[in-house]
Chains A and B, each alone.
Chain A
């Protein structure tokens, strides 16, 4: 019966290619939507993933990387005093507005950290001198964000809160897709540029600089080798009042979950993927249904001869699976082309990883099999008496 399914599938090549077109379109849509979704989720936590810290300590109200309350500078010393801690480094993440020399504004996040420290890691192969972000007014940004900033490259200047800002290095694969442009700089620059916190306002909003009174957002902690991480985490939590001490993996999870659960982005991308699947299903269902209708007398003959129904249905399902398999390859390739274009043109990471590829393969086959149900139902209703009509 597989032989029959094969012949039915390939006997009308224009129709076969038309159905393939529908599947390719559907697979490509699903691949890209899932790729965008996973790329987006992955990108939301790149800073955390690349960090060399074992723990991320933040205010207990922290929602994710970009929404948290300030914590006191004194946490650095408290964390360092905990037994088993090898290194402690603070991070400041605040909102800024960058104005380029043409007066174009871009909303951004300034990420301040100690460039000499080892816990924040951006890029092994940056363009320009990443250590230069320690200089006053210097910053680095993701290479994919040049157009957002409205600058042409290294050396470009702009202003942040009337202070000069100069792009000194470009890094790669660090920028969350949906977040404002991340500007990586020193703690001192970050405090200088970021909107005044109330305590800084009291001091002097325009001359304030990073010091013992500056609030932080995160304290990154690296444990000494061989230290019991569970115990260390407990000790850190006790040492830092009202804190949330998360492992790196937990911090990644919190950040990714925030985007997936608290925003509609996952729903929207999922909806597009579902629409793609529906389009593919309609195309495959229509093709298979038409095929069964065209061969209705033959299916009737098989039923009259006593060929088991399951073999008839297997022949239809086989056609669906083969369509899914054949349509998957060009669909995937097209998805990869789109992903490549998005990465090159806009720096948007569309993640098409082997697990996603396998998921889409399964999904496209399932899509075709579900679509075949209509054709199978049609075959089920064929009256074998049809064979007696000349």
Chain B
């Protein structure tokens, strides 16, 4: 994944707000990159542009050579489903579904057959230490467990990149470390790149590379 000269400006009553002024970023296959920076520095905005959720004013985002910024919205959605995974600060699990069903969602949307889906989910739950909690709903899981389910969901479709926005912000130190350890281990095993936006310095040891986002540039 490559983000090249990404610029994003918000209009506001006080004049345009320059959130990103030409951010450059890349992550090699299987690499874990931490995007560091203070609150409000544009880390989340950068992540959402890299994920094809926001469109930059200028600049390019390429994943496996395909330019996201030139794609139409449905095409970007298809690419997100097939090639990207997301981990959010607030876990964002669907509360009406069980852990297993949450993980199954992207697999089902990808058209993977039921038998294969179940095999993949079992393997992920086992690997993330949630083998006995697959039938529980998010409200019946701890924060750490919920984030592990979210990681399983992000990795289920075998993405090339996982974008993680403040993945430890809602967790205590111990759970945060555990979640990061699992995410990084799994990503390395699967040669999945991970881009983490966080100002949590405890994440730094897990990263292969740290990029600082300052004044909209990195």
Contacts and interface: CB of A to CB of B under 8 A. Distances in A.
Interface of A: 1, 3-4, 7-8, 11, 297-298, 301-309, 311, 384-385, 387-390
Given A3-B97, A388-B47, A388-B48, A306 B92 contact: no
Contact of B109 (A298, A307, A388): A307
Interface of B: 44, 47-48, 51, 53-54, 74, 76-82, 84, 86, 88-90, 92, 94-97, 101, 105-106, 108-109, 153, 165-166, 169-170
Contacts of A390: 89-90, 166, 169-170
B88 A301 contact: yes
A297 B88 CA distance: 12
A4 B92 CA distance: 15
A306 B109 contact: yes
Given A3-B101, A306-B84, 12 more contacts: A301-B92, A302-B105, A304-B80, A305-B80, A305-B86, A306-B81, A308-B109, A309-B74, A384-B53, A385-B48, A390-B89, A390-B170
Contact of A301 (B76, B94, B101, B165): B94
A210 B80 CA distance: 90
A8 B101 CA distance: 14
B77 A303 contact: yes
B106 A297 contact: no
A306 B81 CA distance: 4
A298 B95 contact: yes
A7 B137 CA distance: 12
A309 B48 CA distance: 18
A7 B96 contact: yes
A153 B89 CA distance: 81
Which A-B residue pairs are the 6 nearest by beta carbons?
A: A306-B81, A306-B80, A7-B96, A301-B92, A390-B89, A306-B77
B145 to A, nearest CB: 18
B150 to A, nearest CB: 10
Nearest to B73: A309
